């Protein structure tokens, strides 16, 4: 299960989504910075911040064509994954929040990533203002409820620590599994956009 992490341009299909004149006008509450290392545990999973020694495991995830097909045009190179890992570490250092690595407790294996980001996508106030929620899970664990379990835990921590009034995400409309996860988490579609010839759905979750 995964959420697209791709820049898009705004575009609305007339009549498909309800008009939302309030979009982008919710109060921009400053998120509280988190300085300590964060570890979240669920029954089956452990969520933590990225480490340098995660490169090999994240490279395997980045090469998983099923996991990344709706996020990137092609599997990621080791160099791409290294830059991505540094970007996520930079989120925590500069913003006080970011994505978590998702570990399977039973095996200690890295099986995904989940969390908040600020990707500066240039989508306008309705999308770029709030923090963006994203997730990606290894195809080896699809269908086991791990995406929902990890995302629910991450959102619970985010709400307790930062209480953002609004969180957004984008998902490929053909990625029905991720759309189901998003719906379970309380996200609702409010528009669509085009990116590199592909339509993506914009979703929001209000506090």
Query: Are residues 149 and 44 in contact, defined by beta-carbon separation less than 8 angstroms?
Result: yes
Superfamily of domain 34-164: Gcn5-related N-acetyltransferase (GNAT) (3.40.630.30)
pLDDT score recorded for residue 53: 96
Quick one: tokens of 154?
């991450």
Count Cβ atoms within 10 A of the Cβ of residue 67 and give its class: 0-12 exposed, 13-18 middle, 19 or more buried: buried
Q: What is the pTM of this model?
A: 0.80
Please provide the average confidence, as pLDDT, over all residues in the chain.
85
DSSP 135-147: EEE-GGGTTTTHH
Query: Are residues 204 and 190 in contact, defined by beta-carbon separation less than 8 angstroms?
Result: yes
- pLDDT range class, residue 5, cuts 50, 70, 90: very low
| Domain layout of the chain by residue ranges | 34-164
DSSP 58-94: HHHHHT-HHHHTTTSSSPPPHHHHHHHHHHHHHHHHH
What is the distance between the alpha carbons of residues 199 and 96, in angstroms, rounded to a whole number?
31
Percent of the residues in the chain that have a pLDDT greater than 90, as a whole number: 65
Q: Measure the N-to-C terminal CA separation of the chain; round to a whole number of Å.
A: 23
pLDDT score recorded for residue 37: 85
What is the distance between the alpha carbons of residues 156 and 24, in angstroms, rounded to a whole number?
23
- pLDDT range class, residue 143, cuts 50, 70, 90: very high
- What mean pLDDT is predicted for residues 163-181? 94
Angle at which helices 146-161 and 176-184 cross, to 10°: 40
Residue 127 has a CB neighbour count (10 Å cut-off) of 24
Examine the pLDDT at 17 and tell me if it is beyond 60: no
**Residue pLDDT, tens place only, 72-94:** 777 899 999 999 999 999 999 99
- What mean pLDDT is predicted for residues 118-145? 90
pLDDT score recorded for residue 8: 33
Element of type H or E holding 182: helix 176-184
**Residue pLDDT, tens place only, 61-70:** 999 988 877 6
């Amino acid at each position: 299960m995964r959420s697209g992490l791709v820049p898009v341009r705004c575009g609305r299909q007339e009549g498909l989504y309800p008009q939302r004149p309030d979009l982008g006008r919710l109060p921009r509450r400053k998120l509280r910075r988190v300085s300590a290392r964060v570890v979240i545990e669920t029954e089956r999973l452990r969520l933590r911040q990225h480490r340098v020694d995660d490169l090999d495991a994240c490279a395997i995830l980045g090469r998983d064509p099923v996991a990344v097909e709706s996020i990137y045009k092609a599997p990621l190179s080791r160099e791409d994954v290294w830059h991505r890992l540094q970007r996520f570490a930079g989120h925590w250092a500069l913003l006080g929040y970011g994505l978590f690595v998702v570990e399977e407790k039973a095996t200690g294996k890295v099986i995904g990533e989940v969390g908040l980001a600020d990707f500066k996508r240039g989508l306008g106030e309705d999308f770029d203002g709030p923090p963006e929620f994203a997730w990606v899970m290894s195809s080896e664990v699809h269908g086991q409820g791990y995406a929902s379990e990890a995302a629910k835990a991450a959102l619970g921590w985010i709400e307790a620590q930062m209480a953002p009034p609004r969180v957004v995400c984008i998902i490929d409309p053909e990625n029905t599994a991720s759309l189901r996860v998003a719906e379970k988490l309380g996200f609702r579609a409010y528009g669509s956009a085009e990116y590199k010839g592909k339509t993506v759905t914009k979703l929001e979750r209000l506090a």
